Amino acid sequence: MPCSTWRGAALCLPAFNFEKLFSEHSDMTQRMEMRQPKTLRFAASEWVPNNPFFPVLVYSNVFDRAHPDYAYSFERLFSDAGWEGIWRNGVFSYQHYHVGAHEVLGIAAGTAELLIGGTDGARLTVGAGHCLVLPAGTGHMRISADEDFLVVGAYPPGQYADVKTSAATPRDLKTIANLPIPSSDPIYGSAGPLIVAWPGKGSDQPK
Query: Domain 30-197 belongs to what topology?
Result: Jelly Rolls (2.60.120)
pLDDT value, residue 21: 32
Low-confidence residues of the chain, pLDDT below 50? 1-26, 201-207
The C-alpha angle 151, 155, 156, rounded to 5 degrees, equals 150
Global confidence as pTM = 0.82
pLDDT value, residue 192: 94
Concatenating the DSSP letter of every residue in the chain gives: --EEEETTEEEE-PPP-HHHHHTTTTTHHHHSPP-PPEEE----BTTB---SS--EEEE---S-TT-S-HHHHHHHHHHHTT-EEEEEE---SS-BB-SS--EEEEEEESEEEEEESSTTSEEEEEETT-EEEE-TT--EEEEEE-TT-EEEEEE-TT-----B-SPPPHHHHHHHHHPPPPSSBTTTBTTSTHHHHSSS---SS--
- The domain limits of the chain are 30-197
pLDDT value, residue 183: 94
Neighbouring C-beta atoms of residue 182, cutoff 10 Å: 26
pLDDT value, residue 68: 73
